[in-house]
Amino acid sequence: MILFGMIAYVLAQFAVGIWVSRRVKSETDYILAGRSLGPTLIAFSVFATWFGAEAIVATSAEVYDKGLSGALVDPFAYGLAVIAAGLFYAAMLWRKGVTTFADVFRERFSPGVEKLVVIVLLPGSVFWAAAQIRAFGQVLSSGSDMSLANAITLAAVLVASYSVIGGLLADAVTDLLQGFAVILGLVVLTVVVAVAAGGITQALVAVPAEHVAFSTQAHGTPLEVIEAVAVAFFGSFVAIELISRFLGARSAAVARGGTMAGGLMYIAIGTLPLFLGLAASGLVRSNPELQAKLVDSEQVVSVLSEFYLPQWHYVIFGGALISAILSVVHSALHASGAQVSHNIVVRLIPTLGMRGKLIAARLSVVVLTAVAFLLALTSDRIKELVEIASAFGSAGVFVSAGFGMFTRFGGASSAAVSICLGTAVWAIGRFILEWEAPYLVALGCSAAAYIAVAALHRRERSP
C-alpha cells in the first residue's frame, strides 16, 4: 500500500507537469520557460533544485554518524554558494541573454571552449542525477518489499518519463508544489520526532556528547575539512543546474532576488534534517526496536517516518520526499541535456528546425538518464556520488568563469588550458594519488595556468 501510495503521489506530479508542458513549443520554451518565471517560482525552483537527496538523506546520515560537524558542508556550504551566486552574477548572466551557461564561454572565449565546458561539466551532472536516483530507490525500497536494485530500476523509469515530459516551466510549477510538500513533511516529522523524544531539549540531551560538540575531527584533518567545504561551495557556484533556473527569470532583479531567497530557504529548511540526524542518534540508545530497524544511516529520515508517523502520513511524507528528489534529478538532467543539445548537437547539425531542436533536447535527457541509472545501481553511497558531482571539472570552470565574466584578462587558450589542467589534476589526485585535498590543488593549478598562459599571450602581442 505504501509503495502504491507513493507512486500515486508521483503520478499526480506527472499530471501537473503534462498539463503545464502544453505550452512547450520550442527549444527556448523547453530550456528557459520563455523567460517568464517570477520571484516565487524562481525561489522555490532554486530551493527544490538544491534540496534533494543529499540535503535530506545524506545530511541526516552524516549528522547521525558524525554529529554537528556533519552539517558543515550541507546545508551551510551549499546554501551559501547559492546565495553568493545570486548576489554576484545571476543578474549579469540574465542580462547577457544566454540560453545555457556554456553560451557564456562561447561569447567570451570561443566555440571550442564552449564545447569543452559542456563535456567537462557533463559527468558531474550525471553523477548528481545518479545520487538522486539512488536516493529515490532507497525511499521506494524502505517503504516496500522491493530489493534496492529493483527499486532503483523503477526509480530510473519514473525519472526518465518525468524528465522528458516537461521543460523548465513545468518543472518550476511542480517545484513550487513539491517545495511546499517537502517543507510541510519535514516540519511534521520534526515535530512528531521531537514529541516522541520528550521535546527538543530532551531530544538533544539524549544525543551522545561527541555528536553535539561542533568538532571537525570526524571529517579528518583540517585540510580535508577545507577541501570538503571548497568542493561544495565552488562546485555549486558554477553548477549548471542552478544557473539554468535563474536564466528563466522574467528580469535581472528577479534572477538575483529569487536565487538568494532560494539559498536562504535552503539553509533554513536544511536545519530540520540536521535535527533529525541528531535526534535519531539519541533515540536509538533507548529504543532497541528503532536501532534494529536503522541498519543504514542513509535511511534515517525514511525509518523515522515509518516508525513514528501513521501509515497514511508516511505515504504523504514519502511522496513529498520523492517529489523533492524528482525536482533535483530533473534539474540535473534538464540542464545537462540542454547543454548537450543546444551547445553541441545543434552546432553540429545547424539545419535542425524548431521541432528537431526540441526532440534533440529530450533525447539527450533520455540518454543521460540511462547513464545515471547505471551509476546509481553500481554506487554504494549517495554522499560519494554528490562529492564527485560537485568536484568533477568545476575547478577549472570556476577559475575561467571568474576571469571571463569579471575581467578581460586572458583568452580561449587560457580558459582551455585552465579547464583541462584543473580536471586532470583533480582526477589524478582523487582517484590515483589519493591526496587529502585534490580539489584545492586543482583550483590552484587552474588559476596559475590561466594567469601564466594569459600573461604569455599578452607578452607575445606586445611590440
Q: Which domains does the chain have, with CATH numbers?
A: 2-383 (1.20.1730.10), 393-463 (no CATH)
* Sign of the alpha-carbon dihedral angle for 123, 76, 280, 193: negative
Contact 438, 223 (CB under 8 A): no
Res 219: pLDDT:
59
As beta bridge partners, residue 249 has: 37
Decide: residue 454, CB within 10 A, 0-12 exposed, 13-18 middle, 19+ buried.
buried
Chain centroid to CA 264: 16
- What is the Cα Rg of the chain in Å? 22
Query: Cα dihedral angle (336, 340, 341, 342), rounded to 10 degrees?
Result: 90
Contact 313, 185 (CB under 8 A): no
Cα end-to-end span (Å), the chain: 78
pLDDT in tens, the chain (463 residues): 566 766 776 777 777 777 777 777 777 777 888 888 999 999 999 998 888 766 887 788 888 888 888 888 888 999 999 999 999 999 999 999 999 999 999 999 999 999 999 999 998 888 888 887 887 787 777 667 778 888 888 888 877 776 777 677 777 887 888 788 888 888 988 999 999 888 888 888 878 777 776 665 555 678 888 998 999 899 999 999 899 999 999 999 999 999 999 999 999 999 999 999 988 888 888 888 888 888 777 778 878 887 887 766 666 666 667 777 777 787 888 889 889 999 999 888 888 888 888 888 888 988 998 898 888 888 766 666 766 777 888 999 999 999 999 999 999 999 999 999 999 999 999 999 999 999 999 999 999 999 999 999 887 666 5
Among 397, 358, 435, 371, residue whose Cα is nearest residue 234: 397
Among 232, 228, 243, residue whose Cα is nearest residue 88: 243
Res 369: pLDDT:
87
Res 130: pLDDT:
85
* List of residues 6+ apart from 425 with CB closer than 8 A: 395, 438, 441, 442, 445, 446
The C-alpha atoms of residue 397 and residue 245 are separated, in whole angstroms, by: 19
Residue 432, all three cell numbers: 590515483
Res 34: pLDDT:
81
Angle at Cα 66 formed by Cα 50 and Cα 294, nearest 5°? Answer: 85
